[in-house]
């Protein structure tokens, strides 16, 4: 079983739509959660952190359910520029106690006019 699982999509939505992505993680010891964005053939970039109480950044809302080990990302009023792959990321630990990031395979979003 993958440590972080995401629906690969693609999610094809019209401009202005609301779209939600889900992600589950297997390591109950994970404490920190993030969403990264990766444009086609580009490098991943941090989009936002996910806090227990839920958090919002403009049109983006992230939620965490620790009991179900489930993370979500909601995008409201989709723009063409939101078209990308969204990577769900959780922390884990390396030998020596260093944090490492576990990346999901990503959910692809395509926003059309």
Which chain residues interact with another protein by CB under 8 A?
2, 4, 8, 32, 34, 41-46, 49, 87, 89, 91, 94-96, 98-106
Smallest separation, CB 38 to another protein (Å): 9
Nearer to another protein, 55 or 76 (CB): 55
Residue 106, exposed/middle/buried by CB under 10 A (0-12, 13-18, 19+)? buried
The single residue listed with the structure tokens 């991943």 is: 44
Smallest separation, CB 32 to another protein (Å): 6
Smallest separation, CB 73 to another protein (Å): 16
Nearer to another protein, 60 or 103 (CB): 103
Apex 112 CA angle, 57 and 41, nearest 5: 75
Instruction: Tell me how crowded residue 34 is: count the other CB atoms within 10 A of its CB.
Output: 18
């Amino acid at each position: 079983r993958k440590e972080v699982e995401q629906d690969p999509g693609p999610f094809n939505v019209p401009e202005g739509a609301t779209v939600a992505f889900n992600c589950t993680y297997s390591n109950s010891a994970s404490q920190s959660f993030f969403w990264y964005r990766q444009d086609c053939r580009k490098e991943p970039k941090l989009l936002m952190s996910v806090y227990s109480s839920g958090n919002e950044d403009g049109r983006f809302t992230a939620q965490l359910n620790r009991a179900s080990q489930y993370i979500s990302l909601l995008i409201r009023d989709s723009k063409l520029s939101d078209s990308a792959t969204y990577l769900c990321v959780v922390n884990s630990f390396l030998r020596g106690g260093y944090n490492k990031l576990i990346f999901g395979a990503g959910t692809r979003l395509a926003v059309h006019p």
